[in-house]
Amino acid sequence: KHLEAAATLRRGLEVLPGSDHLLAKLAQTLLLAGQKQEAREASDQALAINPDNYEALVVSLMISEEQGKVEEALALADRALKIEPENEMIRLSQAENLVRSGRQREAAEVYGRLVADFPGNDFYRLNLAVLYNLLGEFEKSLPLLEQVTRTSPSPKAYLNLALACLETRRLPEAARAFESYLSNTTGEDPENVARARSRLAQLKTIIK
């Protein structure tokens, strides 16, 4: 089906060879058909004609991400966001690639805006909290993690809450968070589990 549509678009390009619109549609169709190299070639051709073709930018961005080309993906996301600044998918892509590039502060700023715009999304809230923990801003991560563990509890949320409580000397709360984390460790990193057990044991001796 997608290949038939691609053939139709190619016939259209024979009539209108300079159409960035048709090239972008071809790129989208080829991407859906799993022909990523051809899709990227079509999207690059569309962008050479019109650098602001949003559909072509998105195709190139998706392929760059999949290939692990972080800086290229970030540059494409920046261009796409100048056209559609509120696009949730592109903003998330930008945040994730900023994390991959080690730009945690900038990633936190993007996730912060996503949390503000999508207050019901605990995925964004948890990712923002994790970044705050990495940045050492535990007072900022605590309320986010407390909310996430209430509404979307997960081992990742409990572990990060435990660490934030430890760093802010909330020892009983840290112990409870470690206990919640250890109650379901399926799929968790064995080293994280071992460290959590050790820290919980230490906390129990201190709290007594």
Say whether pLDDT at 93 is over 90. yes
Q: Is the pLDDT of residue 51 over 90?
A: yes
How confident is the model at residue 28, as a pLDDT?
85
pLDDT at position 66: 93
Residues whose CB falls within 8 Å of the CB of residue 10, separated by 6 or more in sequence, listed in order: 26
Q: Going from the N-terminus, what domains does the chain have, and what CATH number goes with each?
A: 1-102 (1.25.40.10), 120-208 (1.25.40.10)
Burial class (CB in 10 A: 0-12, 13-18, 19+), 153: middle
Residue 64 has pLDDT above 70, yes or no: yes
Give how far Cα 1 sits from Cα of 6, 201, 204, Å.
9, 60, 62
140-186 pLDDT, tens digit per residue, is 999 999 999 999 999 999 999 999 999 999 999 999 999 999 999 99
Q: What is the pLDDT of residue 5?
A: 73
Among 61, 57, 70, 62, smallest CA distance to 24 is for 57
Predicted confidence at residue 159, as pLDDT, reads 98
Helix (H, G, I), strand (E, B) or coil at 6: helix
pLDDT given at position 13 = 64
Query: Is residue 85 scored above 70 in pLDDT?
Result: yes
How far is residue 150's CA from residue 53's CA, in Å, rounded to a whole number?
Answer: 42
pLDDT top residue among 193 and 1: 193
Taking residues 84-96, report their average pLDDT.
98
Q: Residue 56 half-sphere exposure, CB side, CA atoms within 13 Å? A: 22
Task: Name the residue among 89, 81, 162 with its Cα closest to residue 124.
Answer: 89
Tell me: pLDDT of 190 over 80.
yes
Whether the model clears a pTM of 0.75, i.e. scores above it, the answer is yes
